[in-house]
Amino acid sequence: MEIEDVKDTVKQIFTEYLKMNGHRKTPERYAILDTIYSIDGHFDVDMLYSRMKDHENFRVSRATLYNTIILLINAKLVIKHQFSSSSQYEKSYNRDTHHHQICMQCGTVMEFQNEALQSVIENTKLTRFQSSHYSLYIYGICAKCDRKNKRKKKNNNPKKEK
Protein backbone atom coordinates (compact mmCIF):
# COMPACT_ATOMS: atom_id res chain seq x y z
CA MET A 1 0.00 0.00 0.00
CA GLU A 2 1.27 3.45 -0.89
CA ILE A 3 1.94 5.86 1.93
CA GLU A 4 -0.66 8.34 0.70
CA ASP A 5 -3.29 5.60 0.64
CA VAL A 6 -2.39 4.70 4.20
CA LYS A 7 -2.73 8.31 5.23
CA ASP A 8 -6.14 8.52 3.63
CA THR A 9 -7.28 5.33 5.28
CA VAL A 10 -6.16 6.28 8.78
CA LYS A 11 -7.77 9.66 8.30
CA GLN A 12 -11.05 7.91 7.58
CA ILE A 13 -10.65 5.64 10.58
CA PHE A 14 -9.88 8.61 12.79
CA THR A 15 -12.85 10.58 11.46
CA GLU A 16 -15.08 7.62 12.18
CA TYR A 17 -13.63 7.31 15.67
CA LEU A 18 -14.12 11.01 16.42
CA LYS A 19 -17.71 10.92 15.22
CA MET A 20 -18.49 7.78 17.21
CA ASN A 21 -17.23 9.36 20.39
CA GLY A 22 -18.55 12.86 19.96
CA HIS A 23 -15.18 14.55 19.43
CA ARG A 24 -14.62 17.44 17.09
CA LYS A 25 -12.65 17.27 13.88
CA THR A 26 -10.04 19.95 14.43
CA PRO A 27 -7.21 20.78 12.03
CA GLU A 28 -4.71 20.14 14.83
CA ARG A 29 -5.85 16.55 15.15
CA TYR A 30 -5.53 15.80 11.47
CA ALA A 31 -2.17 17.55 11.23
CA ILE A 32 -0.88 15.45 14.12
CA LEU A 33 -2.16 12.23 12.57
CA ASP A 34 -0.60 13.15 9.25
CA THR A 35 2.77 13.94 10.79
CA ILE A 36 2.81 10.73 12.80
CA TYR A 37 2.16 8.70 9.68
CA SER A 38 5.09 10.44 8.00
CA ILE A 39 7.48 9.25 10.69
CA ASP A 40 9.26 5.94 10.28
CA GLY A 41 9.91 4.09 13.50
CA HIS A 42 9.52 5.47 16.99
CA PHE A 43 9.03 9.00 18.19
CA ASP A 44 8.39 10.82 21.43
CA VAL A 45 6.31 13.92 22.09
CA ASP A 46 9.28 16.22 21.93
CA MET A 47 10.37 14.93 18.55
CA LEU A 48 6.82 15.15 17.23
CA TYR A 49 6.57 18.70 18.53
CA SER A 50 9.70 19.95 16.77
CA ARG A 51 8.98 17.97 13.65
CA MET A 52 5.59 19.59 13.28
CA LYS A 53 7.01 23.02 13.92
CA ASP A 54 9.97 22.68 11.55
CA HIS A 55 8.93 20.30 8.79
CA GLU A 56 5.18 20.75 8.65
CA ASN A 57 5.18 24.36 9.72
CA PHE A 58 2.23 23.68 11.99
CA ARG A 59 2.56 24.71 15.59
CA VAL A 60 0.60 22.88 18.27
CA SER A 61 1.12 22.89 22.00
CA ARG A 62 2.52 19.88 23.81
CA ALA A 63 -0.73 19.56 25.74
CA THR A 64 -2.62 19.09 22.49
CA LEU A 65 -0.10 16.50 21.38
CA TYR A 66 -0.63 14.51 24.55
CA ASN A 67 -4.40 14.81 24.27
CA THR A 68 -4.48 13.79 20.64
CA ILE A 69 -2.14 10.86 21.10
CA ILE A 70 -4.52 9.42 23.69
CA LEU A 71 -7.32 9.60 21.13
CA LEU A 72 -5.11 7.96 18.51
CA ILE A 73 -4.19 5.17 20.89
CA ASN A 74 -7.87 4.55 21.60
CA ALA A 75 -8.56 4.56 17.88
CA LYS A 76 -5.83 1.91 17.56
CA LEU A 77 -3.84 4.08 15.19
CA VAL A 78 -0.88 4.55 17.53
CA ILE A 79 0.94 2.26 19.96
CA LYS A 80 2.69 3.44 23.09
CA HIS A 81 6.00 2.06 24.33
CA GLN A 82 7.93 2.86 27.46
CA PHE A 83 11.46 1.57 27.07
CA SER A 84 13.16 4.81 27.95
CA SER A 85 12.42 7.59 30.40
CA SER A 86 10.08 9.33 27.99
CA SER A 87 7.19 7.48 26.41
CA GLN A 88 7.80 6.39 22.84
CA TYR A 89 5.08 5.96 20.26
CA GLU A 90 4.72 4.52 16.78
CA LYS A 91 2.02 4.36 14.14
CA SER A 92 0.27 1.02 14.16
CA TYR A 93 -1.98 0.86 11.12
CA ASN A 94 -0.64 -1.22 8.24
CA ARG A 95 2.66 -1.82 9.97
CA ASP A 96 4.31 -5.19 9.96
CA THR A 97 4.35 -6.83 13.34
CA HIS A 98 7.82 -6.53 14.75
CA HIS A 99 9.75 -6.99 17.94
CA HIS A 100 12.28 -4.76 19.65
CA GLN A 101 15.85 -5.32 20.64
CA ILE A 102 17.15 -2.71 23.01
CA CYS A 103 20.82 -2.10 23.75
CA MET A 104 21.26 -1.66 27.47
CA GLN A 105 24.41 0.35 26.92
CA CYS A 106 23.62 2.93 24.26
CA GLY A 107 19.82 2.69 24.40
CA THR A 108 19.39 2.11 20.68
CA VAL A 109 16.14 0.36 19.83
CA MET A 110 16.15 -1.84 16.77
CA GLU A 111 13.22 -3.63 15.25
CA PHE A 112 13.27 -7.13 13.88
CA GLN A 113 10.72 -9.47 12.41
CA ASN A 114 10.30 -13.13 13.14
CA GLU A 115 7.16 -14.85 11.98
CA ALA A 116 7.60 -17.98 14.06
CA LEU A 117 7.90 -15.89 17.20
CA GLN A 118 4.96 -13.79 16.18
CA SER A 119 2.64 -16.70 15.56
CA VAL A 120 3.53 -18.43 18.82
CA ILE A 121 2.84 -15.28 20.79
CA GLU A 122 -0.38 -14.50 18.98
CA ASN A 123 -1.67 -18.01 19.42
CA THR A 124 -0.96 -18.14 23.13
CA LYS A 125 -4.19 -18.77 24.96
CA LEU A 126 -4.73 -16.53 27.93
CA THR A 127 -7.33 -17.37 30.51
CA ARG A 128 -9.73 -14.68 31.61
CA PHE A 129 -8.05 -12.02 29.51
CA GLN A 130 -8.99 -10.44 26.20
CA SER A 131 -5.69 -9.57 24.59
CA SER A 132 -5.44 -6.73 22.14
CA HIS A 133 -1.76 -6.36 21.31
CA TYR A 134 1.65 -7.14 22.73
CA SER A 135 5.22 -5.89 22.98
CA LEU A 136 8.33 -8.02 23.12
CA TYR A 137 11.50 -6.27 24.24
CA ILE A 138 14.78 -8.14 24.13
CA TYR A 139 17.54 -6.48 26.11
CA GLY A 140 21.21 -6.96 25.50
CA ILE A 141 24.32 -5.41 23.98
CA CYS A 142 24.40 -4.34 20.35
CA ALA A 143 27.29 -5.23 18.07
CA LYS A 144 28.60 -1.67 18.10
CA CYS A 145 28.83 -1.45 21.88
CA ASP A 146 30.20 -4.97 22.06
CA ARG A 147 33.08 -4.04 19.77
CA LYS A 148 33.66 -0.84 21.71
CA ASN A 149 33.84 -2.77 24.98
CA LYS A 150 36.27 -5.33 23.64
CA ARG A 151 38.56 -2.62 22.34
CA LYS A 152 38.49 -0.87 25.70
CA LYS A 153 39.17 -4.06 27.61
CA LYS A 154 42.20 -4.76 25.46
CA ASN A 155 43.77 -1.32 25.82
CA ASN A 156 43.00 -0.04 29.30
CA ASN A 157 43.12 -1.40 32.78
CA PRO A 158 40.56 -4.18 33.03
CA LYS A 159 39.22 -2.93 36.37
CA LYS A 160 36.47 -0.35 36.05
CA GLU A 161 33.20 -1.17 34.35
CA LYS A 162 32.01 2.38 34.09
29 counts as binding DNA under rule CB under 7 A? yes
94 counts as binding DNA under rule CB under 7 A? no
Binding partner of residue 113 among its own copies, DNA, none, CB cut-off 5 to 8 Å per kind:
none
DSSP 143-158: HHHHHHHHHHHHHS-S
What value, to the nearest 5°, has the Cα angle with vertex 114 and ends 113 and 119? 125
Among 12, 50, 74, 87, contact with DNA (rule: CB under 7 A): 87
Count of residues engaged in binding DNA, rule: CB under 7 A: 24
Site for its own copies, residues 86 to 145, rule: CB under 8 A: 101, 103-104, 110, 112, 114, 116-117, 120-121, 124, 126, 128-143
Q: Are 73 and 91 in contact (CB under 8 A)?
A: no
Binding partner of residue 156 among DNA, its own copies, none, CB cut-off 5 to 8 Å per kind:
none
Q: What is the binding site for its own copies (CB under 8 A)?
A: 21-22, 74, 82-83, 101, 103-104, 110, 112, 114, 116-117, 120-121, 124, 126, 128-143, 146, 159-162
